[in-house]
A and B are shown apart, each in its own frame.
Chain A
Amino acid sequence: MITINIEKKLKAYSGQQWLKVNREFTDGSITKIYGPSGAGKTTFLKIIAGLITPEKGIIKVDDITWLDTSTKISLSPQKRMVGFVFQNYALFPNMTVREHLEYATKAVGWIDRLLAIGKLETLTTHKPEHLSGGQQQRLAILRALAIKPKLLLMDEPFSALDHEMKRVLIDDLKVLFAELGLIVLIVTHNPQELDGLCSGELEIDTKN
Chain B
Amino acid sequence: MDLTPIWLTLKLACITTLILLAICLPLAWWLSKGRSFFKIIIEAIITMPLVLPPSVLGFYLLLAFSPQHGVGKWLHDTFDLQFVFSFQGLVLASVIYSMPFMMGPIKSALQQLPASLSQASYTLGKSERETFLRVLLPNIKPSLFTAMVLTFAHTLGEFGVVLMIGGNIPNVTRVASIAVYDSVENMDYSAANTYSLILFCITFVLVIGVFIFNKTQAKSPLE
A binds B: yes
Query: Given the complex of chains A and B, what is the CA–CA distance between A32 and B167 in angstroms?
Result: 72
Answer whether residue B220 sits at the interface, using C-beta atoms and an 8 A cutoff: yes
Q: Indicate if the CB atoms of A86 and B116 lie closer than 8 Å.
A: yes
> Complex: how many Å from CA A147 to CA B124?
7
**Cβ of A70 under 8 Å from chain B:** no
Chain A residue numbers with a CB within 8 Å of B119 are 46, 49, 51, 77, 84, 86, 90
Question: Does A136 touch B at the CB level, under 8 Å?
Answer: yes
Complex Cα spacing A84 to B126, Å:
14
Q: Give the interface centre of B114, B125, B126 by most chain A CB atoms within 10 Å.
A: B125
**B139 proximal to A (CB < 8 A):** yes
**When chains A and B are docked, how far (Å) is the Cα of A50 from the Cα of B219?**
30
**Which of A46, A82, A93, A146 sits near B221, CB closer than 8 Å?**
A93
Whether B114 contacts A51 by the Cβ 8 Å rule is no
* Residue A125 lies at the interface, judged by CB distance under 8 Å to chain B: no
Q: Is A6 an interface residue (CB 8 A)?
A: no
Chain B neighbourhood of A91, CB < 8 A: 120, 221-222
Tell whether B36 is near chain A: CB-to-CB under 8 Å: no
Count, chain B residues at interface, CB 8 A: 21
Task: Decide if B124 touches A104 in the complex (CB within 8 Å).
Answer: yes
Check if B11 is an interface residue, CB within 8 A of chain A: no
Structural contact, A93 and B222, CB atoms closer than 8 A: yes
Whether a CB of chain B sits under 8 angstroms from the CB of A128 is yes
Q: Is the CB of B220 within 8 A of A81?
A: no
Instruction: Say whether A136 contacts B221, CB under 8 Å.
Output: yes
Give the distance in Å from the alpha carbon of A131 to the alpha carbon of B127 in the complex. 28
A124–B220 CA distance with the chains assembled, in angstroms: 18
Residues of B within 8 A of A78 (CB): 122, 125-127
Question: Beta-carbon contacts of A11-53 to B below 8 Å, as 1s and 0s?
Answer: 0000000000000000000000000000000000010011100
Instruction: Give A contacts to B, CB under 8 Å.
Output: 46, 49-51, 76-78, 80-84, 86, 88, 90-94, 103-104, 127-129, 131, 136, 143-144, 146-147
Extra contacts besides A50-B122, A91-B222, A147-B125 (5): CB < 8 Å: A77-B119, A77-B123, A81-B124, A103-B126, A147-B124
Give me the 7 closest cross-chain CB pairs, A-B, nearest first.
Answer: A90-B116, A94-B138, A90-B120, A77-B122, A129-B221, A84-B123, A93-B220
